[in-house]
Structure 1
Amino acid sequence: MWAFIHKLGSPKWFYAISAKLQPWCWAVAALLIVAGTVWGLAFAPADYQQGNSFRIIYIHVPAAFLAQSAFISMASAGLVFMVWKIKVADMAATVMAPFGAAMTFVALFSGAVWGVPTWGTWWMWDARLTSMLILLFLYLGVIALRGAFSSRDSGSRAASVLAMVGVINIPIIKYSVDWWYTLHQPATFSVTSTPSMPMTMWLPLLVMVLGFYSFFIALTLMRTRSEILRREGSKRWVRELFQEAR
């Protein structure tokens, strides 16, 4: 296990193994997202209360899941970088931040659009919405910190610390609907209970969630590979790659 982790920390080895994994991740992501979109928008029945407006759930829920998961992944990568000084972990954390911020914005925007027919307003200072807005600010803070230092290592360490501290916001997001009075509905999926919606609605949602996660993995692999080339450009193996490409 430790030998595999040690290999994974090698930019050269990660670049090589990710080249094999990346096409499969893109293919799975495309297949699942297309299938989930068609299934959810065209074949899933309308909600008995919300009608067709509920279909935004097929974007809103996967984006919200990914916004939180990407932050946890970024904080974990930051911890690995801080403790074991693995450069690939910092590269992965670097590319995760903009994607996580984008997913947080999509979740907030789609939730606001959904709120108009459901709550009659675009925004309320609901516990779930407010904690998600804080998550967006945390992402922007991590991105800003990376560029605020003349030394890349100093920026990486500062961003890693903020990510590790900010991860405490994730359980607040998750349990906010249970801890405080909130308009936001409880979790759509739960490990301990069956989904509250019929299978014809939640199955395409599950497909979309898996598709979004596959997309996240594929994009992280692709962008980490680019970050490796950018940072390791002076290394011999990278120069040899460019020579072979010519």
Structure 2
Amino acid sequence: MNWTWFHKLGSPKWFYEISGRWLPWFAWAAGILITAGLVWGLAFAPPDYQQGNSFRIIYIHVPAAFLAQSCYVMLAVCGVVGLVWKMKLADVALQAAAPIGAWMTAIALLTGAIWGRPTWGAWWVWDARLTSMLILLFLYFGVIALGQAISNRDSAAKACSVLAIVGVINIPIIKYSVEWWNTLHQPATFTVTEKPAMPAEMWVPLLIMVLGFYCFFAAVLMMRMRLDVLRREARAGWVKAEVKALVEKAS
């Protein structure tokens, strides 16, 4: 089997060129999808028969929670690729994605607290789902702190990769916490294998928001990675040529 395509993914130059083409598409898609999902979900979706209008927080909470977990799985995959195949671009992706994942986890916890106050009567409870999400936030902080605390780039990359791989065990705990333990948190709003419990006019805008959040993640991730690639490859000839072309274009 020819693995040339796989090793090509680790080329900073190739990534910079291809991401420059994809970035505008993901950015526009994120803006359109998030705007459409928010307007539909907040203004036109019917209120829940039990929770009333307070349920509308799910249009922010659920996409943020999905993305927070998916992002950490990506960190673990990048960690494996970086340790096994020694691809520097894997570390670039890991370092660029960690702050985004941390923000999404924080948003999920904050919106969950806003929803929990009228529903449970408390901003915070030591529920299995909430506690495992809080642990996820600390794992993100750990990855970010390791990457900044260790001056040697290779050592920092290895340390962050190991933590990302070890910490990924928390993801199935988050996912199945409502099934393994007696928790206050409700089960999944919708899954791929089961019919949604809510009507289409409520779950379709939620699906749009989820897609919008993932497009937003892709766009921001590529922006952060492109900046980091330029910083790391500053002495490379192709970077100098790229900067020269940008300067000439600006002038």
Deviation at 1:150, TM superposition (A): 2.1
1:30-75 deviations in Å (ceiling 9; x for gaps)? 1100000000001000011111110000000000000000000111
Letter in 1 for 2:160: A
| Cα distance in 2, alignment partners of residues 206 and 2 from structure 1 | 35
Superposition map of 1:76-91 within 5 A: 76-91=77-92
Letter in 2 for 1:176: S
Where 1:147 maps in the other structure, the secondary structure is helix
Residue in structure 1 matched with residue 36 of structure 2 by the alignment: 35
| Cα distance in 2, alignment partners of residues 148 and 221 from structure 1 | 24
Residue in structure 2 matched with residue 134 of structure 1 by the alignment: 135
Runs of 4+ in 1 over 3 A off after TM superposition: none
Residue in structure 1 matched with residue 51 of structure 2 by the alignment: 50
Residue in structure 1 matched with residue 13 of structure 2 by the alignment: 12
Where 1:19 maps in the other structure, the secondary structure is helix
| Cα distance in 2, alignment partners of residues 83 and 131 from structure 1 | 28
Residue in structure 1 matched with residue 161 of structure 2 by the alignment: 160
| Cα distance in 2, alignment partners of residues 92 and 150 from structure 1 | 18
Structure 2 residue 229 is matched with structure 1 residue 228: yes
1:201-240 deviations in Å (ceiling 9; x for gaps)? 0000000000000111111111111110010001111011
Once the two structures are overlaid, the 10-residue window that deviates more, 102-111 or 74-83, is 74-83
| Cα distance in 2, alignment partners of residues 238 and 187 from structure 1 | 46
Once the two structures are overlaid, the 10-residue window that deviates more, 189-198 or 207-216, is 189-198
| Cα distance in 2, alignment partners of residues 212 and 3 from structure 1 | 32
**Structure 1 runs not aligned, ≥5 long:** none
| Cα distance in 1, alignment partners of residues 161 and 8 from structure 2 | 22
Residue in structure 1 matched with residue 206 of structure 2 by the alignment: 205
Deviation at 1:191, TM superposition (A): 2.4
Letter in 2 for 1:133: L
| Cα distance in 2, alignment partners of residues 139 and 228 from structure 1 | 21
Where 2:149 maps in the other structure, the secondary structure is coil
1:71-93 deviations in Å (ceiling 9; x for gaps)? 00111011101110111111011
**Structure 2 runs not aligned, ≥5 long:** none
Residue in structure 2 matched with residue 97 of structure 1 by the alignment: 98
Residue in structure 2 matched with residue 75 of structure 1 by the alignment: 76
Give the TM-score normalised by structure 1: 0.98
| Cα distance in 2, alignment partners of residues 222 and 113 from structure 1 | 31
| Cα distance in 2, alignment partners of residues 13 and 125 from structure 1 | 46
Letter in 2 for 1:163: A
| Cα distance in 2, alignment partners of residues 45 and 122 from structure 1 | 25
Please tell me the root mean square deviation across aligned C-alpha atoms, in Å.
0.8
**Total equivalences in the alignment:** 246
Where 1:176 maps in the other structure, the secondary structure is helix
Letter in 2 for 1:161: V
Deviation at 1:121, TM superposition (A): 0.4
| Cα distance in 2, alignment partners of residues 195 and 245 from structure 1 | 49
Once the two structures are overlaid, the 10-residue window that deviates more, 50-59 or 236-245, is 236-245
